[in-house]
Amino acid sequence: MTRVLVVEDDEDLRVAVAAKLSADGLLVDTARDIASADEALSGQEFDCVVFDRMLPDGDSIGYVHTRRRQGWAVPVLFLTARDALADRVAGFEHGGDDYLVKPFSVAELSARVENLCRRTGRPSVLRHADLELDCARREVRRAGVLITCSVKEYAVLEYLLTRADQIVERAEVIEHCWDSGTDPMSNVVDVVVKRLRRKLHEPQLIHTVRGRGYLLGIA
């Protein structure tokens, strides 16, 4: 599932942006400063990072510039109240891929983030047997029949498809399809998998490997 990190010290704005991106089907982690963002980036892979420019521990442009010089290639969108041409140019010159001036529409932000995430080179369509998942349209079909999935059902199915014919541990699914606050011992994955099995009908594609996790494939 597409994962985004939102780094913003204004709590109301951070919550609003995260809520919109989540509603649009993205998995969102948040941070309020450069230090916590660096910790998140060290422990997780992201498809895009939204950085407010002025954070409690500095201007994020310097952090991004340093990471770019180290070969870091994750797309970055800068948020800022600075609307001067020189500021926008500096954002691009120091490693930004997009630049949005406050105040802004969260709908526009979401569209820009989606566009940046498409640059990560993931396949546009995932297939296994007669199951097809269109990543661009967020549509799932089996034997050509459209299947309506919730955001979490889609996320779990997408991840299992990327690991088709491999055993995937429950903790891995939680790590890739839920935010960092989810208890790895919870039964959220089992609940979603049960719903997916019902929607995908027979023959079953998602199998439980006792004591290990799940496997998507033909039995």
- Flag whether pLDDT at 55 surpasses 90: yes
End-to-end CA distance of the chain: 25
Question: Given 105, 120, 135, which residue is the final one in a domain?
Answer: 120
One domain, residues 112 and 147: no
Q: pTM of the full predicted structure?
A: 0.70
pLDDT tens-place string over residues 94-123: 899 999 998 899 999 999 998 888 766 566
Which amino acid would we find at residue 79?
Answer: L
Q: Return the higher-pLDDT residue of 148 and 118.
A: 148
Give the domain range for residue 170: 125-216
What's the pLDDT band for 176 if we cut at 50, 70, 90? confident
* Number of domains into which the chain is organized: 2
DSSP-assigned beta bridge partners for residue 99: 78
The answer to whether residues 156 and 188 touch, using CB atoms and an 8 Å cutoff, is no
* Residue 93: CB atoms within 10 Å: 10
Transcribe 79-113 into DSSP letters.
Answer: EES---HHHHHHHHHTT-SEEEESS--HHHHHHHH
Residue 52 corresponds to which tokens in the numbers above? 């407010």
What's the pLDDT band for 148 if we cut at 50, 70, 90? very high
CATH number of the CATH domain containing 162: 1.10.10.10
Residue 89 corresponds to which tokens in the numbers above? 């140019």
One domain, residues 115 and 198: no
Strands (E) located in the chain: 3-7, 27-31, 48-52, 54-55, 58-59, 76-80, 98-101, 125-128, 131-134, 139-142, 145-147, 167-168, 206-209, 213-216
One domain, residues 161 and 208: yes
One domain, residues 18 and 102: yes
DSSP state of 182: S
One domain, residues 212 and 195: yes
pLDDT tens-place string over residues 204-216: 999 999 888 999 9
